[in-house]
Amino acid sequence: MPPNYPRVRIQGTIRNESYGFEEIEGKLVKKVREHIYDRVLARDVVRIIFFLPHDHHHLITGVTHALDSYLRAIEGCSGVLSKFTCCWWEPFDLTEPSDWDLIRGTLKPKEPRFFEDYEPHDARFAEKDGADPYFTLFGEQGNGYSFRYHARLPLREPPPPSVSVLSATLPTEYLEEHGAQHVRELAMTMASRLPFATGHAGLALDLWHPIYDQLDHLRTEIFRHPGFDVRKASHFDGMGTRVDGIHWMNFLGPPVLSELGGAEDLRTLLHSPTTTVQELEGGRAIVTLGDAPEAGDTTQGQTLPAYRELARLLEPHLEPFPWGYLARQSPEVEKELRRWWRRFLD
């Protein structure tokens, strides 16, 4: 049974605007309405994510298997998934069998096969037509459960950085109740039919706003507990084959693993007694840093040496600092986040 993990739950106020029209003296007048509500802005979770350099056509079987595996794992957990979005639709309550039909329909093959074959008018609304299908399942805000899939646009010659992304989260309470081995097996099962380039599983903070907007609230937590990831990479980030930081479980595929000499060479380069390297089919491997994920605690000297060792080895393959655009907007925030980004390297 893993230890109790630090709880990070930050509540805040959200303000949104909606637009509509109201008839006044026989004329339609545009009205702006402000909506104010409270929600959880940050929450500790276990995040599982895979970066897939393939189009939806090649991912249907693997994504379906990963979704079914996740749903089996959370079966019996009451009310964990209650809403969904599908392509361009707004969130709906997940209550009817027809809702699942819509989600499953998203996973069917799409025609035409390539984006270049769309008619000009349809291409303008490709996301509505499902050229790059995506959906999200999630629960009541702040409960820590979610499943997301977003396929890349199916171009005949896609840009090298473009990838499809599949991710899922579980609350840390799930980890504590079911144990790290159970979560590890779930991550491996989800990965088993996915042609990933890279991926990971480990502790993270699920953030409603970007980290740079919440740094004042999270500064103490993220610098004290380096095991919490706050980089929420997505389909839009163009991860390519780069590695998205260092985590408890690190999934490596081609070409990164081959450039490191394969699983056997990688095993000889890592000396931490808690690190294991498991070879998979297709030139892939999983590097696991300990029996369970660790948050670390710099105030207690818990700096996660196994994480630091792997970071030094993978440094040439790590994603570049993703928030460089802050330099002109907030140099001090950018400086702090750069320090966090290199927390396992400096």
Which residue segment(s) compose the domain that 160 sits in?
Answer: 44-341
pTM of the model: 0.91
Per the domain annotation, does 181 fall within a domain?
Answer: yes
Q: Beta-carbon neighbour count of residue 239 at 10 Å?
A: 24
Per the domain annotation, does 56 fall within a domain?
Answer: yes
Cα–Cα distance for residue pair 194/185, rounded to 1 Å: 15
Rounded to the nearest 5°, which phi and psi values hold at 116? -65, -15
Per the domain annotation, does 32 fall within a domain?
Answer: no
Per run of 10 residues, the mean pLDDT along the chain (length 346 residues) is 79 67 71 69 96 96 98 87 81 83 88 70 54 88 92 90 97 95 98 98 94 93 97 92 97 96 96 97 96 97 98 97 91 96 96
Per the domain annotation, does 17 fall within a domain?
Answer: no
Number of domains in the chain: 1
Note the pLDDT of residue 140: 83
Per the domain annotation, does 210 fall within a domain?
Answer: yes
Per the domain annotation, does 192 fall within a domain?
Answer: yes
Note the pLDDT of residue 95: 83
Per the domain annotation, does 241 fall within a domain?
Answer: yes
Number of residues in the chain: 346
Q: Beta-carbon neighbour count of residue 202 at 10 Å?
A: 26
Note the pLDDT of residue 1: 47
Strand partners, 277: 287
Note the pLDDT of residue 131: 75
Contacts of 283 (CB under 8 A, 6+ apart): 253, 254, 257, 258, 262
Among candidates 221, 282, 293, 210, which has minimal Cα distance to 250? 293
Contacts of 39 (CB under 8 A, 6+ apart): 11, 12, 14, 141, 142, 208
Cα–Cα distance for residue pair 52/320, rounded to 1 Å: 19
Note the pLDDT of residue 86: 84
Note the pLDDT of residue 84: 86
| Alpha-carbon separation of residue 93 from 38, 86, 87, 98 (angstroms) | 19, 12, 15, 11
Note the pLDDT of residue 269: 96
Per the domain annotation, does 48 fall within a domain?
Answer: yes
